[in-house]
Structure 1
Amino acid sequence: MSNKAETKHLKLRGNIWWYQRRVPKHLSHHYPNQSFIQISLDTGDIREARKKRNVLNGELERKSLSMTSNSESLRFRELVREMDRDRKNYPHDWDAGIYPDRLEEQGRKLELEAYMTVNGRQDFSRKYRLTISEGFQMWLDDIGHTKTEEHSKKIEKAIKKFGTYCFKHFDWVDSPDIAIEDIERKMVYSFIKHLGKTLKKSTVQATISRINTIWMYLERVDELEGKNPFKDHIYSNAEADQSEKREAFTKDEVKKIQAHKWEKPVYKLLVDLGIYSGCRISELCNLKKKDVVEDDGIVAMNIEKGKTRAATRTVPLPDFIGQRLLEHIKDKDEDDLVLGISSKTASRTFSNFKTRYISQSKLKAFHSFRHMYITAMERAGVEENVTAQIVGHERGKTMSYGYYSKGHELKKLKEAVEKGLRLMGTAEY
């Protein structure tokens, strides 16, 4: 923990530590005529002061959470927009049917505060501000069902990481669930620099892009306005300027990988499927028995759950690996996972094995098989659009098994696969 984080909201006066922080804007009505919260912690021990500070921070957070729910926040903003429209269209009698005293008597606090905000008596908009997690939930409820579960979880993770970073490093941020209107460009820039210390350029860009997805959605549904702080950033540093393309395993390394005696035999199948299909490890781990199909002697995999919607496709397999796959799943139920291991566990297991027995290079990983597969297809003269269709780089005319007509196109794809994989120099070719 940095020294700045250790003493955040703490100030030493004489020999006594004080809790001192600016009043959070959305709690300002709880502290009228007060810009700062200042409380003596009655201790000169920094460790005790930190404990008391954390308790006070927790109390403020609970007060904030108890103020309003996401549904109340959304309803408040809808009411304000409706009243604003009425005020613009009917400036003389827009509030003729609104009786503040009656609203107060009936305990309709939300409607009363919306009315007071619009008529200028007191602005409650900060109390019902839109937070980044609320924006994510709106996106999830509205269009999240059109995305993969993995994609949605990555967006949620990126949002939480950004909010936590801002809460720790910017004094005016009063919660990890940061308000959208509080996000400034310099905060995003600082976050990018922070991520760049340990992550690759492409990973940093992907993280910002995921948060930007929520910002752009909220713009489209008219929940926010102003410049987008996540756009047009420069991602450049010493590490980022280096090539980040995966390195291919050598022929000897591939033979060593295939010859390895795994503790769980299913990893042998996982590796061979990676080599001979070009699929991502997550796609293979999400594969179910019902996704393995056979037509006219050709065994293929329906990739229904990929990195993106464009990844949905059918991948024909070489005969030897196709038969092994059928044998492996013969006693499974239709909805059973083919491999029975999560992509996270599989990635970690293969990475540990690779580092220990094959190579220390960070650019060599399971994903290298995909790059090798695509390279082999290119060198074999397979048309780019055919390769793209097989590996799921762009949407083609036939993206699931049900679209094939009598297996004709599947045969053409199988021929392309065999043509490309002969150049990989692995044991069976």
Structure 2
Amino acid sequence: MPKANNLELQGGTYHVRMDIPKDVREAFGGRRILSLSLKTGSREEAMFRRLPILHAWKSQIKVIREGKLLGDGWQEDIVQTLEGLDAITQGQKRALVGETAPPLPDVDPTLKAKLMSSPRFMEAVRMLVGDHLKDGIGGKVQIQDELNRGLKDMLQKRLGTEYKLTVQQGQELETLVKDPASYKARSPITKARLASFRTYRLEHHVALKTINQQESKLLNLSEHLQTTGSKLDFDSVSAWLQGMKLSSKTKQQYLLAGNQFWQWSMQHEPQWRQTFKGHVNPFEKHTLPSLKGKAKLDAKRKAFTIEEVGTLYKAAKEQNLGALPDLILLGGYTGARIEELCQLRKEHLITVDGVTMFDIVDSKTVAGIRSVPVHPKLTALVDRLAKASKDGYLVPTDSNNKYGIRSDALSKAFGRLKTAMGFDRTRVFHSIRATFVTSLVRADVPDRLIRELAGHETGTVTFDTYSQGSSPKQKLAAIKKLPTLLNANRTQL
């Protein structure tokens, strides 16, 4: 049974769970419970992470309970059917005056037998033919027009009987039947389809922040398609990209979001597969302008010098910016990413072969999961942080946004600090990581060992697959080669 707040702790990790109501279990393959790992042992973080998942599940149940609804893109299906009827009617009219007409489509034998056995239908046909045949060619033309209207009326009534139409859908259907040409193409990237895409990705442990960011980009494209009345194809995507004053790198992220949505839809959405059968992926093979030479070098993120890291530390200390000065020192002597540092807990201080190390248990990459020795100049700082910790985390922060990111406020504080000190956009907290790597390179630390400490793959099967990596003592020896961050170590930690 689900616990309070739909959370359950399993092996130190929280899961969000929800009982599936009996009346909709069949739609879920007979399952009784929906469950998904939240990938966190923090109850506070789990409380945030469970909300969008519960919302998606409840929305899915609501749709199932509302009965047989018209699916996404029903308007285009109806318009295609109506245009097909009009084409048949026009063809039969041309045949009446001796022109060549395309053959009539095959009629469903079951439907034909049903109509032929209906006295009301046969009487209507008899009256229709009898009234107009006497008028020669003109009468036969009228027969075709009235058959056309009759079939459209039947289509409208059938949809109203078989589906639960909203008032808006009923009105829209009536308008389309009267004038199919009035239809303005709508975006196939609907909110319902995006909700299904979201549920799928949450179940496959895609980061919530990534899901939200890409969904925002897809909604932007959907709005463009609806506003312009464009179909989803290469040209419309190209026009959409050209209309945004963004960098090529950012536009590439928009294409990535579209590409992943397209691939998911082709695999999991039958209606999408049918609509776009034979179509090429509209998000591929776009050529975006790229920076070259000096312009590319100028835009690249740059490392701080050792002196600059020390200056930033001093400024953060003098301005009493909370945990920021400690965070700068930790970054300078570990090369860890800012969120990796903010996620460190007291239990992540481990001792292996006599060496005290930071155990980084979660990272943006597999190679990022690693152990980094505590530099001797960090010993006093780490001891102080561990003793002062009130929640188990080494770096105290009030920041804990909806994605469970603890470094958000500290990252912004660093951004304000470095800007006030005259550093441009090419210098960010991540630049301290570049300083760390550069310092190891200049200290002649082997490339393989630098990659292990920074959490990068070596790119070779020998080391990435078979090797257990360098020993704690080898790592500590490399860390000790880092230069002193000016006089920061002399300051009271």
- Say if 1:417 and 1:214 are closer, same or farther in 2 by CA, change over 3 A: farther
Cα distance in 2 for partners of 1:311, 1:233 equals 32
Cα distance in 1 for partners of 2:389, 2:281 equals 49
Cα distance in 2 for partners of 1:105, 1:235 equals 45
Residues 5-38 of structure 1 show CA distances to partners (whole Å, capped at 9, x for unaligned) of xxxxxxxxxxxxxxxxxxxxxxxxxxxxxxxxxx
TM-aligned CA deviation for residue 92 of structure 1: 7.3
Cα distance in 1 for partners of 2:353, 2:390 equals 23
- Say if 1:214 and 1:162 are closer, same or farther in 2 by CA, change over 3 A: closer
1:109 to 151, 163, 167: 163
- 2:472 is matched with 410
Cα distance in 1 for partners of 2:454, 2:240 equals 33
- 2:196 is matched with 138
TM-aligned CA deviation for residue 377 of structure 1: 2.5
- 1:171 is matched with 227
Deviates more, 1:226-235 or 1:344-353: 226-235
- 2:438 is matched with 375
- Say if 1:169 and 1:132 are closer, same or farther in 2 by CA, change over 3 A: closer
In structure 2, the gaps of 5 or more residues are 1-58, 75-107, 114-153, 170-176, 400-405
- Say if 1:328 and 1:320 are closer, same or farther in 2 by CA, change over 3 A: same
Q: How big is the alpha-carbon RMSD for the aligned residues of Structure 1 and Structure 2? A: 4.8
Cα distance in 1 for partners of 2:453, 2:65 equals 44
Cα distance in 1 for partners of 2:386, 2:284 equals 47
Q: Does 1:289 align with 2:346?
A: yes
- 1:156 is matched with 212
Q: Does 1:254 align with 2:315?
A: no
- Say if 1:293 and 1:141 are closer, same or farther in 2 by CA, change over 3 A: farther
1:246 alignment partner AA: R
Contact kept? 2:234, 2:282, Cα under 8 Å: yes
Q: Does 1:389 align with 2:389?
A: no
Q: Percent identity of the aligned residues?
A: 21
1:141 alignment partner AA: T
Cα distance in 1 for partners of 2:361, 2:69 equals 37
- 2:286 is matched with 233
1:158 alignment partner AA: Q
Contact kept? 2:332, 2:432, Cα under 8 Å: yes
In structure 1, the gaps of 5 or more residues are 1-64, 81-90, 114-120, 175-181
2:235 to 186, 198, 220: 186
1:411 alignment partner AA: K
Residues 246-269 of structure 1 show CA distances to partners (whole Å, capped at 9, x for unaligned) of 122234322211212242331111
Residues 222-243 of structure 1 show CA distances to partners (whole Å, capped at 9, x for unaligned) of 6544322222222215699523
1:189 alignment partner AA: S
Cα distance in 1 for partners of 2:440, 2:308 equals 20
Contact kept? 1:148, 1:307, Cα under 8 Å: no
Contact kept? 1:302, 1:313, Cα under 8 Å: yes
TM-aligned CA deviation for residue 353 of structure 1: 0.7
TM-aligned CA deviation for residue 324 of structure 1: 1.4
Contact kept? 1:155, 1:211, Cα under 8 Å: no
- 1:204 is matched with 251
Cα distance in 2 for partners of 1:349, 1:131 equals 38
TM-aligned CA deviation for residue 346 of structure 1: 1.7
Taking structure 1 as the reference length, what is the TM-score of the superposition? 0.58
Cα distance in 2 for partners of 1:133, 1:169 equals 14
Give the greater-gyration-radius structure (CA).
Answer: 2
Q: Does 1:270 align with 2:327?
A: yes
Corresponding pairs, count: 319
Cα distance in 1 for partners of 2:158, 2:281 equals 38
Taking structure 2 as the reference length, what is the TM-score of the superposition? 0.52
Contact kept? 2:67, 2:164, Cα under 8 Å: no
